[in-house]
Amino acid sequence: MENLKKIIFMLICFAPFLSGGQISFYNKFTSGPFDQGNGITQLPDSSYAITGTSGGFDGNSGQAYLMLIDSLGDHLWTKDYGGYGDDIGVRVIHVPNDGFFIAGYTGSTVDGNLDFMVLKTDESGELLWQKNYGGENWEILHDAQILSDGGLILVGHSEGNTTQEKDLYMVRTNAVGDTLWTKTIQTSTDDIAYAVDTLSNSQFVIGGVMGDAGVQRGMLAAYNNVDGSEVWLSFNPSGDVEILDLEVFETDIYASGFIKNTVENQDDYWLGKFDLLGVFDKYIDFSYDGDARITAITIREFEGLYMAIQSQAIDLNPFPGGEDMFTMKLNTDLFFIGSGEGFSAYNDDRINQMIVASDGGIVIVGTVGDKELEISSGTDVMVARIAPDDSFVPGANTGLDFVSVKKEMLKSLVIFPNPTNDFINLPNRVHGLEYQITALNGRLMSKGLVEAKIDLNNLRPGMYFLTIQSDQQIYSAKIIKQ
């Protein structure tokens, strides 16, 4: 019965490359036409947990997922979560011997608006609880961090019904997801928090954009964990910048994103350095023949800073169409010390998070587009690892030389009557198979063997999910109980 909740992504992967203990790999995972990889973390056993969203679990909407791969990049298991709207996992946080937090946002709400969302699972990915945070607007989460007391800080923006601009929005929770405080910042321009990191046991820092005397500018701001009070606010002095990611390292804050190039009418990549009080130190920017943005950064201790650049520049595109990704390496004084790897597929490609593995390898997660490939008609989850010595799988950036394909099909199931008051009828082909019915929050409501009818009299009115599994097939359907 446990397998009823497992839907294994179709895995298209390059074989892991091992040389003298140096492990690197480049894998793509897909379950349908629309899959995104947004967040990644490493576990104590050197495996990796990944979150994002996929359209392959439910044909009508995207579902958040938690996927585990081993240290070589091979798929172990996947669990999905969500309701009747789109559900997006943005960051995954692992608490050893306790489970996972998945932070993101959800459209499976009563009013249909988007809200911040936190899912809590056990170590095997089974859902323990889900809590949503938001109001009358659409609240979209961009980043999350766990704080010293085990609670979370969630950052992003709010837009929609009560505001014409985007307003910066933050939520502070305790370890069980209860709201401790919320904070909204509204100026005459768009205000967005794209990134967050911890400054100390009592403070955190965010990066993004905020209005300053009527002008939108890149900013860093520090806040108190306990009550959300502002500690300091620092606007970037180097031009029209948007900060997309940041990382606190020793006595400095590194912030990355892009700067508007008004001469060429494009975005140029930008990387800045600040002290822990937000005092600006230095920055670098660079102009390609087309837009270029630093979407993610991470710092490898004693060596340097890795940054992920997304660009549509002509000289960076091995494949026609869309934006491609590549990595670059600098020291902590922002001097270039090495080129990195390129990742190119059809359409737009993006690195959404980079982390340093326990052995010093660099692991990245993102989204690649491969509509030209017959087995993948949209976007795929991409996970890659650069070895500690910076070696990488030869030719991995072509995205074509796949060595294995695993596929488990998910099909919708016609049931009737639906909506229903008391029972549903099922087709002959699923009779005798195992089924389970779950509520929107993932709670198991009933299970058993399929007969001609399933009695629903013990369920309250609402929406439920029916899942039936055979050796070769997984069937799913939504049930509306009146």
Q: Are residues 380 and 418 in the same domain?
A: no
Which residue has better confidence, 35 or 470? Answer: 35
Q: How far apart are CA 407 and CA 17, in angstroms?
A: 23
For residue 325, pLDDT beyond 80: no
For residue 322, what pLDDT is reported?
A: 64
The candidate with the shortest Cα–Cα distance to 28, out of 298, 397, 316, is 397
Q: Establish if 6 belongs to a structural domain.
A: no
Q: Which long-range contacts (CB under 8 A, 24 or more apart) does 312-315 make?
A: 313/288, 313/289, 314/289, 314/290, 315/288, 315/289
> Under a CB-based contact definition with an 8 Å cutoff, are residues 350 and 323 in contact?
yes
> Under a CB-based contact definition with an 8 Å cutoff, are residues 43 and 50 in contact?
no
CATH number at residue 418: 2.60.40.10
Q: Categorize the per-residue pLDDT at 398 as very low, low, confident or very high, splitting at 50, 70 and 90.
A: very low
For residue 440, what pLDDT is reported?
A: 62
Q: Are residues 254 and 350 in the same domain?
A: yes
For residue 7, pLDDT beyond 50: no
For residue 407, pLDDT beyond 70: no
The pTM assigned to this predicted structure is 0.78
Q: Establish if 15 belongs to a structural domain.
A: no
> Under a CB-based contact definition with an 8 Å cutoff, are residues 382 and 73 in contact?
no
Q: Which domain does 368 fall in, by range? A: 25-401
Q: Establish if 7 belongs to a structural domain.
A: no
Q: Are residues 291 and 413 in the same domain?
A: no
> Under a CB-based contact definition with an 8 Å cutoff, are residues 56 and 32 in contact?
yes
Q: Establish if 8 belongs to a structural domain.
A: no
Strands 410-412 and 474-481: parallel
Q: Are residues 418 and 366 in the same domain?
A: no
For residue 435, pLDDT beyond 50: yes
Structural domains of the chain, count: 2
- Domain termination residue (choose one: 384, 401, 418): 401
Q: Are residues 335 and 473 in the same domain?
A: no
For residue 403, pLDDT beyond 70: no
Average predicted confidence (pLDDT) for the chain: 82
- Beta bridge pairs of residue 433: none
Q: Establish if 475 belongs to a structural domain.
A: yes
Q: Are residues 277 and 145 in the same domain?
A: yes
Q: Are residues 227 and 163 in the same domain?
A: yes
> Under a CB-based contact definition with an 8 Å cutoff, are residues 447 and 454 in contact?
no
For residue 397, what pLDDT is reported?
A: 33
pLDDT digits (tens, 9 = 90+) for 436-467: 887 765 577 888 998 889 999 989 888 787 87
- Beta bridge pairs of residue 436: 447, 467
pLDDT digits (tens, 9 = 90+) for 342-360: 666 666 778 899 999 998 8
CA dihedral over 258, 262, 263, 264, signed as positive or negative: positive
Q: Are residues 397 and 420 in the same domain?
A: no
Which residues does 164 contact at the CB level (< 8 Å), separation at least 6? Answer: none
For residue 389, pLDDT beyond 60: yes
- Domain termination residue (choose one: 333, 366, 401): 401
For residue 343, what pLDDT is reported?
A: 66
- Domain termination residue (choose one: 374, 401, 428): 401
CA dihedral over 411, 416, 417, 423, signed as positive or negative: negative
Q: Are residues 89 and 33 in the same domain?
A: yes
CATH number at residue 102: 2.130.10.10
For residue 404, what pLDDT is reported?
A: 28
Q: Establish if 5 belongs to a structural domain.
A: no
Of all residues in the chain, what percent carry a pLDDT higher than 90? 42
Q: Are residues 333 and 268 in the same domain?
A: yes
Q: Are residues 461 and 375 in the same domain?
A: no
Q: How far apart are CA 103 and CA 131, in angstroms?
A: 10
Which residue has better confidence, 339 or 94? Answer: 94
The candidate with the shortest Cα–Cα distance to 152, out of 219, 101, 113, 116, is 101
pLDDT digits (tens, 9 = 90+) for 167-204: 999 999 999 999 999 999 999 899 999 999 999 999 99
Average pLDDT over residues 141-167: 91
Q: Establish if 467 belongs to a structural domain.
A: yes
Q: Are residues 35 and 66 in the same domain?
A: yes
Q: Establish if 128 belongs to a structural domain.
A: yes
